Amino acid sequence: MNNQYDVVILGGGLAGLTLALQLKQEEPQIRIAVLEMRKKEAPNSAHKVGESTVELGTYYLREVLGLKDYLDEYQLPKIGLRFYFSPQIKEQIDQRVELGAKGTLPVPSHQIDRGIFENELTKRLLNMGVDVILGARIKAVDLNEIEGHTVTYSKEGQNYEVTGRWVSDATGRVGLLKRKLGFEKPLEHNINAVWFRVKGEVDVNDWSNNEQWANKLPKGLRRLGTIHFMGTGYWVWLIPLVSGNTSVGIVADPRFHDFSEFNKLDKAMEWLQKNEPLCAQKLESYREDVIDFRILKHYSHHSGRFYSTEKWGVVGEAGAFLDPFYSPGTDFISIGNTWMSDLILRDYRGEDVASRSIIYERVHAAFFDSWVPIYNQQYELFGNTQVMVSKVLWDWGVYWGIPTLLFTNKGYINLEVLRALFTSRNSLGTRLGKLNSQLQQFFRQWAVCSNEPYINFFIDFFDIPFLKKMHLDLEIQHSVEGLIAQCKENLEILEQMAAEIYRRVLAEQKGTPQNMKINPYKASLELSKEELLAQAEEKGAIDTAAYIAKDLEMMWLKEKLAV
């Protein structure tokens, strides 16, 4: 080990290890130290959330970090996110409305056993010459851009010092630099979670004697999805792990489910019995084989800083974390690491990166802020089947259409792309943020007006052609001009999708014409019919393309449950 480094990374979890790998692969001569408090190898089924990846984070792991072959051989494939709605019939999984893929997906993702994966990353880094120092407890960080940042840590009772031109904080929720420099930033979103692992495979396909339902999908397909059981104010996850174990989680809004009701294992099982009785029944046989139990109260947090012109930054949960719903954790690590590594590598090669540091920080903060409306005050919708089917498909469209497409095309580190899409007052990024925020608010208004129970319905997003195309387009590499044009085209499609949702709901709830023009940035159930009709005559009101209306037809559930 040396004590002089180009980069010192504080923390050797997923964010820190992948950042080190990204840097070392780009510049084999760069000197990196990773200081990790864990004293030995991580256990299988380690005590960590973040086992489920989606398209953006998967692209980072497979293509950017070159881990495609490893993931295919040593981790599980993931068959998308799978949702079970219709909480009125929780005891009958074969009768619940199911939203998920009915076959393998062309753009892959994975279920990751974090312990196994982080051990593999550590081994690779050591073989590449990175000093991964286990058992390192950080005592102090003295930031000095001119002479180098000094990090003091203890290991086996001895104190050591290392210096680095750059320091990257990947200490997770400890948020070492955030606490030291005082840039904590509160986040209104207040949700709690518990999770535990059980020994053995849990396959929801076996939870019904209905052979027609079980055989609707190829054997094993349902188990490989990230399972979501949905109810008012909560969702429950099941995630398979390559170690043969299964991850179980409860995530709930305290406005509807007090944390004290499920913050211990026995209480969590009682909570499941009350809220997801079939799940509780099927997990009872695993009761004696629970591996661990973890809790997180009010887990969401923001950050006032991300990247400094003084050659330090924060990545992963040491910066900001929003919510595990939709499995975005690895996405945020991927984007943050991409900005962080780009700054470090450009500086290493002699470029002045001060301006980029400011731009990346502003875009990162705006990007995170734009995601908040997807989650904030939305858990109250989780028991409303029709609203949630619409919301999930909308959220996927937004995710594939802009942020993931930008990532797979290196748009976040291309200043020409960033200027074209995010800098003007009426930029694509600003419009997308307003559009999404308006529709998320509309979902809440809609849920108050209507919450009819639905039954026995299956939806696959691949049956919606324009969403399928957005998903497949993630594999296309565009020129700068082509990328900007595709993002603009996708925003227009999203505007039409939003307008069609508004049009159908407003016709049902307000009696407006089925073919009325809609301004997707202004429509609201709080407006009167007369106000909506007047709004249809304003500039900005649009017709929905015929193919959008046709494609979304299947989104509108037909079979209602007689209660």
Q: What would the pLDDT profile of 111-163 be if each residue is shown by its tens digit? A: 999 989 999 999 999 999 999 999 999 999 999 999 999 999 999 999 999 99
Place of tokens 């009682």: 270
Model pLDDT, residue 45: 55
Residue 20, burial from CB neighbour count under 10 angstroms (0-12, 13-18, 19+): buried
Judged by DSSP in three states, 130 sits in coil
The answer on pLDDT for 499 being more than 60 is yes
The answer on pLDDT for 29 being more than 70 is yes
Mean per-residue pLDDT, 375-385? 98
Q: How far apart are CA 450 and CA 453, in angstroms?
A: 10
Mean per-residue pLDDT, 383-394? 98
Across the chain, what does the average pLDDT equal?
A: 95
The answer on pLDDT for 1 being more than 70 is no
Model pLDDT, residue 175: 96
Give 434's pLDDT tier (boundaries 50, 70, 90): very high
Q: How far apart are CA 23 and CA 26, in angstroms?
A: 5
Mean per-residue pLDDT, 171-194? 95
Model pLDDT, residue 424: 84
Q: How far apart are CA 504 and CA 386, in angstroms?
A: 12
Place of tokens 């999930």: 392
The answer on pLDDT for 50 being more than 80 is no
Place of tokens 């851009």: 145
List beta partners, residue 166. 7
The answer on pLDDT for 414 being more than 60 is yes
The answer on pLDDT for 563 being more than 70 is no
Model pLDDT, residue 46: 56
Model pLDDT, residue 42: 78
The answer on pLDDT for 105 being more than 80 is yes
Model pLDDT, residue 103: 93
Q: How far apart are CA 76 and CA 122, in angstroms?
A: 20
Mean per-residue pLDDT, 324-345? 97
The answer on pLDDT for 558 being more than 90 is no
Output the pTM of the full model: 0.96
Give 40's pLDDT tier (boundaries 50, 70, 90): confident
Mean per-residue pLDDT, 470-487? 97
Tokens of 20: 């080190």
Mean per-residue pLDDT, 237-241? 95
Tokens of 378: 């939305």
Burial 34-63, CB ≥16 within 10 A → b, else e: bbbbbeeebbbbbebbbbbbbbbbbbbbbe
Q: How far apart are CA 405 and CA 335, in angstroms?
A: 12
Model pLDDT, residue 49: 67
